[in-house]
Copies of this chain bind each other. A is one copy, B any other.
Amino acid sequence: MSATRYLDLPSPYSLYRGGQLHGARLAYETWGELDAGHGNAVLILTGLSPGAHAASSAADPSQGWWEAMIGPGKAIDTSRHFVVCVNSLGSCKGSTGAASINPATGQPYRLDFPELALEDVALSARHVLDALGIRRLRALVGPSMGGMTALAFAVLHPGLAPNLALISTAPHSLPFATAIRSVQREAIRHDPAWKNGNYSADAWPENGFRIARKLGMVTYRSPQEWRSRFGRKRMHDPDPRPFEREFEVEAYLDAHADRFVGSFDPNSYLYLSRAMDWFDLADHGGAVDIALARTQARRALVIGVTTDILFPIEQQREIAEGLRGGGAVVEYHALPSIQGHDSFLVDFERFAPPVADFLNSL
């Protein structure tokens, strides 16, 4: 069963950096009911890898990627809000991306997919709102890359999202994050199976993609968490091949790579990863604080985690201060969660209350 709905984007659909798509569409899901005034919509924009299935529903009872946060009575309360989650343009979970069929050739786009910017992810999501009759959001919620996209959305649609919930995100990537992503992309590109993007469905660049995913996990969690969780524990069944895994932390990385590889298209990953490095909120006005003021946000919740090495807490503070400078009332939380960047996906005890309080107060 699927709760996925699809929206056809205008065709041709012009992209921020000059390209065009024909017959592009977006996958999205909704939960709850839109009220008579169409005033209770909450839009969720996602991180790099999740799809639109953020939570279960009658139509699709499988667990969503933010299951603990979304549902009746939960922090994002679907008995109060009409919740919409859009799979990013350029992704591979139903929305058009590099793995989709290029109508001009009948073959997958692969690297013929045009240059993708987070502005495209933001601007395309707006079309879903239009189709649903939503002219103003109650709140826009964006964790991680979804927060960068939310900032793009807000500055490109001033006033449309007066209330922002920005979680473990950034106004632009700093060089540490770009360096990590650059090495991830290099690992995929240098896997001979990548074939300049022309890998076949049964021979993905698995080795390179596994390295990219493992490196991702290294930056999504925190040294502190792993120290307490794994310490120097060895696996019960280490891999006997030379230089293979033998510590529990290595088995953990392997398990995460197993789950990810095969479920996400490597070319889509490259496009979204580069879009994150390209994005700079400062492009919209000349400086981050100017852009933040241009969003016309009235209220904002900004949450970061002190152990996040990919989207460091300084960047959360920068967003909070910039929004305040623009006149917004900002609630800022620097949470001491131990799970690093991924805390918003696991530390619900800390994340749920401020998100619930913020949304329910609107």
Contact = CB atoms under 8 A, between A and B. Distances in A.
A175 B249 contact: yes
- For A190, A280, A312, the residue with the greatest tally of chain B CB atoms inside 10 Å of its CB is A190
Contacts of A250: 178-179, 182
A309 B189 CA distance: 27
Interface stretch (A81-89, A144-152, A226-234): A226-234
A347 interface: no
Nearest to A176: B223
Contact of A214 (B173, B186, B196, B214): B186
B274 A226 contact: no
Interface string A346-357: 000000000000
Contacts of A186: 210-211, 214
How many copies of the chain does the oligomer comprise? 2
Contact of A196 (B172, B191, B242, B248): B242
A242 B182 CA distance: 12
A242 B230 CA distance: 38
A179 to B, nearest CB: 5
Contact of A183 (B175, B214, B312): B214
B243 A179 contact: no
Interface in A316-345: none
B179 A249 contact: yes
Contacts of A242: 111, 189, 196-197, 270
A190 B244 CA distance: 11
Contact of A208 (B190, B248, B253): B190
Interface residues of A, number: 50
A254 to B, nearest CB: 9
Interface in A242-264: 242-243, 245, 247-250, 253
B274 A182 contact: no
B183 A253 contact: yes
Contacts of A57: none
Contacts of A222: 176
Given A190-B207, A208-B190, A309 B223 contact: yes
Interface string A60-100: 00000000000000000000000000000000000000000
Contacts of A176: 218, 222-223, 226-227
A175 B243 contact: no
A118 to B, nearest CB: 14
Contacts of A192: 192
A208 B232 CA distance: 26
Given A187-B187, A214-B183, A270 B243 contact: yes
Interface in A9-53: none
A223 B312 contact: yes
Nearest to A189: B243
B211 A175 contact: no
6 contacts: A174-B226, A178-B232, A186-B210, A186-B214, A190-B211, A309-B309
Given A172-B232, A179-B253, A182-B247, 8 more contacts: A174-B227, A175-B231, A175-B248, A176-B222, A182-B250, A189-B242, A211-B211, A243-B270
Cβ-closest 6 pairs across A and B: A176-B223, A175-B249, A175-B226, A190-B207, A175-B230, A182-B250
